Amino acid sequence: MILFVFVGLGLFVWVTVLGGVAIAFNILTQHESPIRSGLGPAGMLLSSFGFFVAPAIIGALVGAVYVSASQPSPRSIGKRMEHIESKLRPRQSGR
């Protein structure tokens, strides 16, 4: 996945040098046609990267953050177990 990030950054820089950062961003996000921009293979490759690879990378990162955030920490598991054990212990009367 790191390789795809570096390839994407390289393509973005290549198109930025040829046409400017606004055009590169518009091509990456599919707001501008790479054919009409006149940037040749750089624009076509960046457009393909933005269409096929970038959403998958974003989805993988969001999924990783969600999975790591949804895993209970050992501390919360311990507190939960203590709470359950306190509920299961028979109550002793003060007599």
Tell whether the model's pLDDT for residue 91 goes beyond 80.
no
Tell whether the model's pLDDT for residue 10 goes beyond 60.
yes
Nearest by Cα to 49 from 85, 93, 17, 6: 6
Tell me, yes or no, if the pTM score tops 0.75: no
Where helices occur in the chain by DSSP H, the ranges are: 2-19, 21-28, 34-37, 41-48, 54-70, 74-88
Contact at 8 Å (CB) between 27 and 34? yes
Chain mean pLDDT for the chain: 85
